Structure 1
Amino acid sequence: MTKRRIIGIYLAAGKSSRMGTNKLMLPLKEERLGSMALKKALHSNLYHVVIVTREGDTLDWIAPELFAHPLLEKWSSVACPRSSYGQSYSLKCGLKQAYQLRAEAVIILLADQPFITEHMINQLIFYYESCPLPYITVTHNGIPMPPTLFSAETFPLLLQLKEDEGARKLIRKQWKEKGMRLEYEDPLYFLDIDTKQDYFLATTELKRKRGTSSI
């Protein structure tokens, strides 16, 4: 386990409006889409994971084994009453929980980005423990992508984000030269499954890569 209190903020409060159904419940790789990245986060070196959901979420999309010990102690959930107003509201709900857990840093993760890896998360933690920078992010073609680590010194600015503004805005402007970027070449890692076309691509890629250990 990490020596520092690095908290994962797992954003799972989206409306799934472009999918037309709750995408977190969609079957993918013999499990629910929403559980894939969550499992990796819980098996990583994160101190704790805060799952941010919509109000009324029954958490049926979370794999049954994550409700059992010892993994059950590693996560908690918080319903965000204003999640429909934009992703920044979900992020703020997660940050407030992270404050209560005395987080030294947070790693922002997206529930609809199922192909991130445990190694990615642990790499962010490793570099932060070696050199605590304001942010450490993974990138694809030089573009910052989740998962991204933010130190506690950045929380006040993150809390000022509005509506659908993302933390990437702050990386590009206020903190452009103050952090670290780790480049990954495979675009599948960063696939956000927002539409039926995205879901078809994900299932197709899984069939193509079945039998490999890269995902």
Structure 2
Amino acid sequence: MTRFDPAIALILLAAGRSERFGGEKLVTPFRGKPLWEWAAEAAENSGFQNLYLVTGEHTSIAASDRWRKVINPDAAKGMGTSIAAGVAAADAHERVVIALADMPLVTSDHLRALAHGTGAVFTRQQDGKAGCPAGFGRENFAALRRLTGDEGARVAIPENASILQPDDPVMLFDVDMQEDLHTRF
């Protein structure tokens, strides 16, 4: 596996409240292993040398030594606080890719494409809107560190960002509720 330039980091957001799911969904088994491990393995297999895992203060996630754990004490306030915490922790890098731990079918190829982009690059969602995973250059870091509440990165980034179409829309699958664990593709 080719390793990325260490100036590029991946931030995996795993601090969500899982309210719609009804419990700590990221450690719930999905196809034989904890849900969060699918996105983590895609990131590890992508070639990132620097991996950041943003969690809340009380988590059951047990990450390998390859991950730098970032505790977000404000995780209950929403995803924006986790993006801000992750980007602050990865501030020494020139580019970051932000992915979600509840997207088990994200591919290493897609993460690599975001890493090789320039400026802000979002993933085109099924509704055509820009979303996660996404990549950002250093010029976007200050705006991302100011996010609060449930604000996503789209709020902080100018409208001239690029949008990357996934090779397979199945990659966009995310788990929000218990029944999502049984979705067949």
Query: What residue number does 1:198 align with?
Result: 180
Match of 2:138 among 136, 146, 152: 152
User: How far does the alpha carbon of each residue in 1:93-136 deviate from its partner, in whole angstroms, 9 at most, with x for none?
Assistant: 1111101xx1101111100011100000111223x3xxxx3212
The TM-score, its normalising length taken from structure 1, stands at 0.78
Aligned-pair distance for 1:4? 4.8
Aligned-pair distance for 1:149? 0.2
1:145/1:190 contact within 8 Å kept: no
1:13 aligns with 2:15: yes
1:138/1:144 contact within 8 Å kept: yes
User: How far does the alpha carbon of each residue in 1:6-32 deviate from its partner, in whole angstroms, 9 at most, with x for none?
Assistant: 111110001111111211112112211
1:136 aligns with 2:121: yes
Matched residue of 2:51: which SS? strand
1:188 aligns with 2:170: yes
Query: What residue number does 1:104 align with?
Result: 94
1:93 aligns with 2:63: no
- Equivalents in 2 of 1:122, 1:185: separation in Å? 13
CA RMSD of aligned residues (A): 1.7
Match of 1:125 among 112, 115, 119: 115
User: How far does the alpha carbon of each residue in 1:132-157 deviate from its partner, in whole angstroms, 9 at most, with x for none?
Assistant: x3212221343222110011111111
Matched residue of 1:50: which SS? strand
Matched residue of 2:36: which SS? helix
Matched AA of 1:134: G
1:168 aligns with 2:150: no
* Long gaps (5+) in structure 1: 206-215
1:19/1:194 contact within 8 Å kept: yes
Aligned-pair distance for 1:159? 1.8
Match of 2:25 among 9, 23, 26: 23
* Long gaps (5+) in structure 2: none
Matched residue of 2:149: which SS? coil
Answer with 1 or 2: which has the greater Rg.
Answer: 1
- Equivalents in 1 of 2:27, 2:67: separation in Å? 19
Matched AA of 1:143: K
Structure with greater helix share of residues? 1
Match of 1:80 among 46, 69, 72: 72
Matched residue of 2:152: which SS? coil
- Equivalents in 1 of 2:129, 2:49: separation in Å? 27
Aligned-pair distance for 1:185? 5.8
Aligned pairs, how many?
182
1:51 aligns with 2:53: yes
- Equivalents in 1 of 2:22, 2:125: separation in Å? 28
The TM-score, its normalising length taken from structure 2, stands at 0.90
Q: How does 1:66-77 map to 2 (within 5 A)?
A: 67=64, 72=65, 74-77=66-69
- Equivalents in 1 of 2:32, 2:104: separation in Å? 13
User: How far does the alpha carbon of each residue in 1:39-77 deviate from its partner, in whole angstroms, 9 at most, with x for none?
Assistant: 1101112231110111022424x4xxxx3xxxx3x3211
